[in-house]
């Protein structure tokens, strides 16, 4: 790779050993880890990453849905280095502040829907969601409605892994053998057009989901419910597409019951669907709160933010007299180096027209991926713009899944990786969530690789007796 990085030589054997002995990886399958150890990614540039052996891959997952402006952006590195040497860290508690955090808050208020003008910083998506629920509870306590505590989430939602965020998460396998705060959360059905009840049209399915929300409110009582939280498109749960109009109708029901609507835009924000924020531009909703992370800094530094409406802020910021302090936040709330990275990242998104690129290349990616439907295991190809997934099935008509032991997602990902493309296997899904700088030419290259990868997967599944 040719960008102007200082070259470092790694001792791969030594690193593998240390990794195996000491690094507990998040979301680790220990059966595979003990056997295979890790893949060391050591270099990156633009749409590519390189492993320790010097193999180059197209990054089909933007790191982890986050490197929106692509890898190796020297100007983000420079902005971070400048800030780190000028003033790497100082508290933002007790009315102290720093210039990047202040500038970024103002910039986010400018970019967000017009009623969201106040920013609470955190360290990533989980902490943004966690902090949000504390703020929501605080808000209702201060309004004199202390019973409004319950949060409505959805099956297969992903909101993170701090205690509260994990409790909001509705992916059963993610919480396997972990505890959750069940007294605070109720999970409604996921909105999943592909696997909707067979006899229902999309419109009837939408009615059904809205009815379910109304029944839950009736059962639990609106006096006991604080908020509904939803990703505009469920990401880690499988890029699940809701029926047309779903979010706006869910929001209307929430509003009628004084239930706050929280949009978790950790994945959908910062261009992935062609806009800085998808809630209003794509889904016609005006959330009371939008949470962002990932693409906010394109992963160059950890950062999350909760964008809060004027109406909520008015309550949160009402003076309480002596002792009445908004006592929540993190050492790293508004970290100057992370905020400097985010400001430069946003400047690049605007300067290079990255949202426009997604609006142009995104529909092309969708169309080209749909050509993969010819493969025997490809049951559904779904998503929007640069947030796509392919669901593998044993039978396209019945939508029956392959057995878990077939590890179909892992097989497709391994076949793609052999051919120079990294995608993300999640169970029987193949997820594609690239940096937002892919061109049509890259899409053609990627789809050609995937075509071979799905063909090879079908052959290997047949050889092993799964098809």
Tell me which residues touch ligand PMP (CB under 6 A).
Answer: 124-126, 129, 158-160, 231, 235-236, 264, 266-267, 293
Comparing CB distances to ligand PMP, the nearer of 306 and 457 is 306
Q: How far is the CB of 241 from ligand PMP (least distance, A)?
A: 15
The nearer residue to ligand PMP, 229 or 442, going by C-beta atoms, is 229
> What minimum distance in Å lies between the beta carbon of 438 and ligand PMP?
20
CB of 159 to ligand PMP, least distance (A): 5
CB 188 within 8 A of CB 153: yes
The residue among 157 and 381 lying less far from ligand PMP, judged by its C-beta, is 157
Of 101 and 157, the one with the shorter C-beta distance to ligand PMP is 157
126-142: b (≥16 Cβ within 10 Å) or e? bbbbbbbbebbbbbbee
Query: Which of 293/389 has CB closer to ligand PMP?
Result: 293
Q: Quick one: which of 241, 240, 243 has its CA closest to 204?
A: 243
Q: Closest distance between ligand PMP and the C-beta of residue 293, in Å?
A: 5
> Minimum CB separation from ligand PMP for residue 454, in Å?
25
Q: Which residues pair with 260 in a beta bridge?
A: 227
Residue for token pair 């993610």: 174
Query: Whole-number minimum distance, CB 290 to ligand PMP, in Å?
Result: 12
d(CA 145, CA 345): 40
> How many residues comprise the chain?
467
How many CB atoms are located within 10 Å of the residue 85 CB? 9
- Residue facing ligand PMP at closest CB distance: 125
Q: How far apart are CA 189 and CA 152, in angstroms?
A: 10
Query: Helix, strand, or coil here: 379?
Result: strand
Spatial strand order of the sheet with 48-51 comes to 41-45, 48-51, 56-59, 421-422
Contact 239, 191 (CB under 8 A): no
Considering the complex, state which of residue 225 and residue 266 has its C-beta at the smaller distance from ligand PMP.
266
Under the phi-then-psi rule, with left for phi > 0, alpha for psi from -120 to 50, and beta for the rest, what region is 65?
left
| Structural Rg of the chain based on CA atoms | 22
From the CB of 258, what's the least distance to ligand PMP, in Å? 25
Separation CA 433–CA 378 (nearest Å): 18
Looking at beta carbons only, is 69 or 168 nearer to ligand PMP?
168
Closer Cβ to ligand PMP, 389 or 453, answer by number: 389
Q: How far is the CB of 277 from ligand PMP (least distance, A)?
A: 13
- In the sheet that holds 387-392, the strands lie side by side as 378-384, 387-392, 429-432, 424-426
Rounded CA-CA distance 181/253 in Å is 25
Q: Which residue has the tokens 């990275």?
A: 341
- Of 129 and 458, nearer to ligand PMP (C-beta) is 129
Rounded to a whole number of angstroms, the minimum distance from the CB of residue 133 to ligand PMP is: 13
């Amino acid at each position: 790779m040719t960008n102007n990085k200082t070259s470092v030589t790694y001792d791969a054997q030594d690193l593998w050993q240390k990794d195996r002995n000491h690094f507990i990886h998040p979301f680790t399958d220990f059966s595979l880890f003990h056997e295979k150890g890790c893949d060391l990614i050591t270099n990156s540039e633009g749409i590519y990453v390189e492993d320790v052996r010097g193999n180059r891959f197209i990054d089909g997952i933007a790191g982890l849905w986050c490197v929106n402006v692509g890898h190796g952006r020297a100007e983000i590195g420079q902005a971070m280095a400048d800030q780190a040497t000028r003033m790497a860290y100082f508290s933002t508690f007790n009315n102290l502040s720093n210039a990047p955090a202040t500038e970024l808050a103002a910039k986010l208020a400018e970019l967000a829907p017009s009623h969201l003008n106040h920013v609470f910083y955190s360290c990533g998506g989980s902490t943004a969601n966690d902090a949000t629920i504390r703020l929501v509870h605080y808000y209702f306590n201060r309004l004199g409605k202390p019973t409004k505590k319950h949060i409505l989430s959805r099956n297969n939602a992903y909101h993170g892994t701090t205690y509260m965020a994990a409790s909001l998460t509705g992916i059963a396998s993610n919480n396997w053998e972990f505890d959750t705060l069940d007294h605070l959360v109720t999970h409604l059905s996921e909105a999943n057009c592909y696997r909707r009840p067979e006899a229902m049209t999309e419109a009837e399915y939408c009615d059904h989901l809205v009815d379910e929300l109304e029944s839950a409110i009736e059962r639990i009582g609106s006096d006991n419910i604080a908020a509904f939280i939803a990703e505009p498109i469920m990401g880690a749960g499988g890029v699940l597409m809701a029926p047309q109009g779903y979010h706006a109708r869910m929001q209307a029901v929430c509003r009628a019951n004084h239930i706050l609507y929280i949009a978790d835009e950790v994945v959908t924000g910062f261009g992935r669907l062609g806009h800085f924020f998808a809630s209003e531009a794509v889904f016609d909703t005006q959330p009371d709160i939008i949470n962002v992370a990932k693409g906010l800094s394109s992963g160059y530094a950890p950062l999350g933010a909760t964008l809060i409406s004027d109406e909520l802020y008015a309550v949160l910021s009402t003076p309480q007299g002596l002792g009445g302090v908004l006592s929540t936040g993190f050492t790293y709330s508004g970290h100057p180096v992370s905020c400097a990275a985010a400001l430069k990242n946003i400047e690049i998104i605007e300067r290079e027209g990255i949202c426009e690129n997604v609006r142009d290349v995104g529909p092309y990616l969708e169309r080209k991926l749909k050509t993969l439907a010819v493969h025997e295991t490809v049951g559904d190809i779904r998503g929007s713009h640069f947030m796509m997934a392919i669901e593998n099935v044993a039978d396209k008509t019945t939508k029956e899944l392959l057995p878990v032991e077939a590890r179909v997602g892992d097989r497709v990902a391994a076949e793609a990786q052999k051919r120079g493309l990294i995608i993300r296997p999640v169970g029987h899904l193949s997820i594609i969530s690239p940096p937002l700088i892919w061109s049509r030419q890259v899409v053609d290259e990627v789809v050609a690789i995937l075509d071979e990868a799905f063909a090879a997967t079908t052959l290997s599944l047949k050889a092993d007796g799964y098809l």
